[in-house]
Structure 1
């Protein structure tokens, strides 16, 4: 008893005892909480098993989409072809007088010219001298012809008088004919010098645009040497290559939409179809007239669509087509709002409608807005 009283009376001892008692109580409480949690976990399956009729939680829709059903529409039948833009007619403008020096060149590539416009001039000195010489020769021949005619007329007037013999009269008449022929030759020679003088001016044979130029000031051009190339009337045409199996669908006068390399689209008209196929490509050339436009350049590539009629087609909105791995798909939405990925074959496209050739029925609904974010089996929320 003395020892117990001594222990109780010591303050330090009482403090240590209080701390130990608190620790023991905390450990005991922790064990009670773990036991209670374990009991709750054990009781949970039992509680679940006790309620077999309880419904599982419903899955929430993953995406909000709009839907549409295929529509039957009349779409244009088109034939696509490739080809080049070329000049309708390209005229070669050359020198018509040999041995003369080019004095001036008035136009360059791309210049628009009128018919008869002077494009270049040759030095005129030599041609002018030849012209003067021809004129003098003509005057001389004319005088000789007049003199011979006068002599022949006098001889004929005294033919029956016996003053001149028949041979003398015949000689005068022959001289008249010779000088008359010489006069005609001199006239022709003089006219040639005038033509040569006029040809010192190189003129445009038609209106159009200069597409090439080889003329250089100071150069001596030979007869027939090309100086310029001219696109007549600035007209262009599209030369399309069409296979023999398809060319029968193209007719003269038919319309064609031509897309140039720049992206410009113009309406052309079929002017002619070649009667034979090209021996290299085995394709048939189709010539289509094009309207005048600065962006149409000869020698450039262009695509074309021939309008060859119309037919009924099953179409869907273009937005509903999803391209994955190089294939076209749509997502069909069933009555349970579940998306099913469906591979389809597409055809013509007109505006915002795309033709579906296979893979889709007319009474099936497809996702439109939001289709690109869907996957197989996704649940969707449909909005209008």
Structure 2
């Protein structure tokens, strides 16, 4: 019985040992938010249009189109012949008007000779004043007929020149309705020309953001296929659309084979720079529509912290609140953790260089 009492009164070695340390759930890497200066951009959408599209039409009527020298997509120069009408009847009319001018000039020469011969006779009283007046009137009438014939001939030559349809400016043919052999009425459209091959992006910007856009600002566009283009703001539209409350901002684009009129493009206006506290996107976990990070506290335990997110550039994201520059956050492995988990922190990899892209201005943070 004494042995049993001693055995019961002696404490167990296992009862004196400290509680075992909780095993780490995951090995993770850590990071600290990085303060930096990020460019700010205003995002917008819009279409690409021709800067100016000239309509080239027929100036004559009743003539057959005898030749068409260009097609859609052809680059042309100012004064280049695009099409020709059959000029036979117009050329014959020019010859007729030229002959009429020669006839009028001959009549003028005869009237002038008559006046020259009559002047000395009139001075000697051999020709009456009435007769001399008739000679002078005939001379003036002959001069008027010459002037009229010259004007008529000039008009006929203009018509002859109009049988050749010429480009009014350098550019690219964007549309062709001219058909060989057709008889086009006066004023009918034959071609459309994008002047200077110059395009513009017409961005739709909310009225509340127009104060951020100024002529001369740089713009980066992305068109179909992910092709990036650059441009500059030429003009801000003076009025808003009453239905959408958006204004058009006109952005000049450089000549490029990557952009065509009619394409849709997304763009960003560079409106300045601002400080940003950024982390790698791998450190942010999205749950129920909100962003969270895991702060490492008490050495090896994590605390789930809700954060407000801002701009994104490459693989980094701006954190607006919830952490500061001294916080230690879980980087790789954050998606597998829960609040209060114990982790083992491994040596973090070297920080990558900050990307030099534009940060998009999030709605409500402007």
TM over 0.5: yes
SS in 1 for 2:15: coil
State the 1:157 CA deviation: 3.2
1:223-372 matches, cutoff 5 A: 223-372=186-335
TM superposition score normalised by structure 1 = 0.82
Deviations 1:225-280 (A, max 9, x none): 11111111111111112222211121111111122233222221111122222344
Partner Cα distance (1:86, 1:68) in 2: 47
Partner Cα distance (1:181, 1:281) in 2: 64
Deviations 1:139-160 (A, max 9, x none): 1122122222222222233221
**Counterpart among 55, 63, 82 of residue 119 in structure 1:** 82
Instruction: Count the aligned residue pairs.
Output: 339
Considering only aligned residues, what root-mean-square deviation do their CA atoms show, in Å? 2.1
Deviations 1:332-356 (A, max 9, x none): 2223322333332211123433111
Partner Cα distance (1:138, 1:304) in 2: 64
**Counterpart among 161, 167, 181 of residue 130 in structure 2:** 167
Match of 2:166 in 1: 203
Greater per-residue helix proportion: 1
Judging changes above 3 Å, is the alpha-carbon distance between structure 1 residues 292 and 48 closer, same or farther for their aligned structure 2 residues? Answer: farther
Partner Cα distance (2:330, 2:27) in 1: 10
Partner Cα distance (2:303, 2:176) in 1: 65
SS in 1 for 2:249: strand
* Greater C-alpha Rg: 1
**Counterpart among 105, 121, 129 of residue 142 in structure 1:** 105
State the 1:302 CA deviation: 1.4
Deviations 1:23-76 (A, max 9, x none): xxxxxxxxxxxxxxxxxxxxxxx9997742334444332322211111111111
Match of 2:344 in 1: 381
SS in 2 for 1:157: helix
SS in 2 for 1:312: strand
State the 1:361 CA deviation: 2.9
TM superposition score normalised by structure 2 = 0.86
Residue segments in structure 1 that go unaligned for 5+ positions in a row: 1-45
1:35-184 matches, cutoff 5 A: 51-184=14-147
Partner Cα distance (2:295, 2:268) in 1: 32
State the 1:122 CA deviation: 0.9
- Report if the CA contact (8 A) 1:262-1:295 is conserved: no
